[in-house]
């Protein structure tokens, strides 16, 4: 029988994902000392994704109670929605009190971004999306897949290793009214360099004047200054502006990566607008995946509802943040002993990433020669360092930095 060419004959290879594609390469690598500093995951000093004690306790209580698995509502588990809304906005926030905030459970932070992107596309189809340069590697493809034209605003300055703040503001003043501006609420991914304190006032002023729609990506609560402190940016946006979106992830803060626990918050001008927003978010969820998974959301809701478990959670987040900070110090110390280049900027960066300043060629060489995997932009996940791999990583970075341009250009086989 002759096989006819099907429609699938036109399918082309899609590009490899910059982050998860690297994990695939890492998993396939037989190198005995391989280290994955690619994906943004917090590991403990044993190199394991931790099961937080607060999560274990909540999970055991749920299992002991024998919870059935019905469908959740389209917008998620009600206790979870209530708890995460109060976690983000704090008690008595005026926007919440006025009924201006819509909260829906989302399939991780990425799910929150995508539902938010689809929602904006429907009601502002001509809007462009402005991303920081650089930004999280999944932002551009995610908003492109949602049909948006992507622009960037200046952000990181490799020379000062700080923010190009003046240029950033100047660019924002020229952004057409009604555009979407994606901002990182804390622990900027990939640079670890944040907009701070009064700088946010200036950003908010321009966002208000230009009538831009801010979309905050908030995936690292507690890894910056603290659980409460890191939420302040979203609280201020909700208070000062008539419209804002926040996508939140609990993957890192609860170490619940595979449970896909996230949320999307939409702040509207008044409660009438908020009701319309909710009806549309529900429709978007229903036509994509119907309703979200329940187990992780039940765990987060249970932890946040119990004063004892909540206090334990805050303590455990502090523990993770402190370990990341100590890994930054240890790495800088080790590099100092090996090479003259100054890496002390790693100590100033916040969150679980460090923008190492290594070039694309150096990152590829480090992967091919030493099986130390980092993102080709130069981003390394410092939360994946531990007392056993620190020396090897420092050796690999030092050896890579010493490679000549010619050596960097050589393919692996010749290395
Ligand atoms: C990352 O930036 O590596 C994390 O947010 C994980 C992911 O989904 O990309």
User: pLDDT band at residue 118, thresholds of 50, 70 and 90?
Assistant: very high
pLDDT of res. 205: 97
User: pLDDT band at residue 234, thresholds of 50, 70 and 90?
Assistant: very high
d(CA 327, CA 397) in angstroms, rounded, equals: 15
Measured in whole angstroms, the distance separating CA 59 from the mean position of its chain's CA atoms is: 25
pLDDT of res. 1: 59
pLDDT of res. 112: 98
Output the average pLDDT for the chain: 96
pLDDT of res. 4: 76
Confirm or reject: Cβ of 138 under 6 Å from ligand 1: yes
User: pLDDT band at residue 249, thresholds of 50, 70 and 90?
Assistant: very high
User: pLDDT band at residue 410, thresholds of 50, 70 and 90?
Assistant: confident
pLDDT of res. 156: 97
pLDDT of res. 415: 46
Mean pLDDT of 295-313: 98
pLDDT of res. 48: 97
CB hemisphere CA count around 408 (13 angstroms): 15
Spatial contact of 265 and 103, defined as CB atoms under 8 Å apart: yes
- Nearest atom in ligand 1 to the alpha carbon of residue 219 is 5
Spatial contact of 398 and 339, defined as CB atoms under 8 Å apart: yes
Q: Is pLDDT above 70 for 42?
A: yes
Distance 39 CA to ligand 1 centre (A): 5
If you count DSSP H runs as helices and E runs as strands, how many of each does the chain have, helices first?
15, 13
Distance 64 CA to ligand 1 centre (A): 33
Residue from 16, 17, 19, 140 to probe ligand 1 pocket by mutation (most atoms less than 8 Å from CB)? 19
Alpha helical stretches, state H, 69-134 = 78-89, 94-97, 108-123
Task: Name beta bridge partners: 372.
Answer: 35
User: pLDDT band at residue 2, thresholds of 50, 70 and 90?
Assistant: low
Q: Is pLDDT above 50 for 268?
A: yes
Contacts of 134 (CB under 8 A, 6+ apart): 155, 156, 190, 191, 377
Mean pLDDT of 129-149: 98
pTM across the whole model: 0.95
Task: With H, G, I as helix, E, B as strand and everything else as coil, classify residue 279.
Answer: helix
**Between the CA of residue 383 and those of 226, 315, 364, 379, 410, what are the distances in Å?**
17, 17, 20, 12, 30
pLDDT in tens, 6-17: 989 999 999 989
pLDDT in tens, 330-372: 999 999 999 999 999 999 999 999 999 999 999 999 999 999 9
Mean pLDDT of 111-126: 97
- Nearest atom in ligand 1 to the alpha carbon of residue 189 is 2
Distance 287 CA to ligand 1 centre (A): 25
Cis peptide before 190 (omega within 30 of 0): yes
pLDDT in tens, 80-102: 999 999 999 999 999 999 999 99
Q: Is pLDDT above 80 for 329?
A: yes
74: nearest Cα among 101, 99, 96, 106 = 106
pLDDT of res. 414: 45
Question: Above pLDDT 90, what percent of the chain?
Answer: 95
User: pLDDT band at residue 412, thresholds of 50, 70 and 90?
Assistant: low
User: pLDDT band at residue 287, thresholds of 50, 70 and 90?
Assistant: very high
Task: Name beta bridge partners: 223.
Answer: none
Confirm or reject: Cβ of 189 under 6 Å from ligand 1: yes
Mean pLDDT of 105-121: 98
Distance 246 CA to ligand 1 centre (A): 17
Confirm or reject: Cβ of 19 under 6 Å from ligand 1: yes
**Each residue of 100-110: b (16+ CB within 10 Å) or e?**
bbbbbbbbbbb
pLDDT in tens, 150-202: 999 999 999 999 999 999 999 999 999 999 999 999 999 999 999 999 999 99
């Amino acid at each position: 029988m002759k096989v006819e060419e099907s429609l699938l004959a036109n399918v082309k290879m899609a590009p490899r994902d910059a982050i998860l594609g690297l994990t695939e390469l890492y998993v396939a690598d037989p190198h005995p000392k391989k280290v994955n500093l690619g994906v943004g995951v917090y590991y403990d000093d044993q190199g394991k994704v931790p099961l937080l004690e607060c999560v274990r306790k909540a999970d055991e209580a749920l299992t002991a109670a024998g919870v059935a698995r019905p469908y959740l509502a389209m917008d998620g588990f009600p206790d979870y929605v209530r708890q995460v809304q109060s976690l983000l906005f704090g008690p008595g926030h005026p926007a919440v009190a006025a009924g201006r905030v819509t909260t829906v459970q989302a399939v991780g932070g990425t799910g929150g971004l995508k539902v938010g992107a689809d929602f904006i596309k429907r009601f502002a189809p001509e809007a462009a999306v402005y991303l920081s340069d650089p930004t999280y590697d999944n932002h551009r493809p995610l908003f492109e897949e949602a049909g948006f034209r992507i622009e960037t605003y200046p952000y990181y300055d490799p020379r000062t290793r700080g923010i190009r703040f003046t240029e950033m503001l100047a660019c924002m003043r020229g952004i057409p009214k009604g555009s979407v501006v994606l901002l990182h609420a804390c622990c900027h991914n990939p640079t670890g360099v944040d907009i701070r304190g009064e700088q946010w006032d200036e950003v908010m002023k321009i966002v208000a004047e230009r009538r831009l729609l801010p979309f905050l990506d908030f995936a690292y609560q507690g890894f910056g200054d603290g659980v409460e402190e890191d939420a302040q940016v979203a609280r201020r946006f909700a208070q000062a502006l008539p419209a804002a979106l926040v996508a939140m992830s609990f993957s890192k803060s609860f170490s619940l990566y595979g449970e896909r626990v996230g949320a999307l918050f939409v702040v509207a001008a008044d409660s009438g607008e908020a009701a319309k927003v909710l009806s549309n978010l529900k429709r978007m969820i229903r036509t994509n995946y119907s309703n979200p998974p329940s187990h992780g959301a039940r765990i987060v809701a249970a932890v946040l509802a119990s004063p004892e478990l909540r206090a334990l959670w805050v303590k455990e987040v502090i523990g993770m943040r402190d370990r990341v900070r100590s890994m930054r110090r240890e790495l800088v110390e080790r590099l100092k002993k090996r090479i003259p280049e100054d890496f002390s900027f790693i100590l100033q960066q916040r969150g679980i990433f460090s923008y190492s300043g290594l070039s694309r060629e150096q990152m590829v060489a480090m992967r091919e020669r030493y099986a130390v995997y980092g993102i080709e932009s130069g981003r390394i996940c410092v939360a994946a360092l531990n007392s056993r791999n620190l020396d090897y990583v420092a050796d690999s970075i030092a050896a890579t930095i010493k490679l000549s341009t010619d050596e960097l250009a050589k393919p692996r086989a010749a290395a």
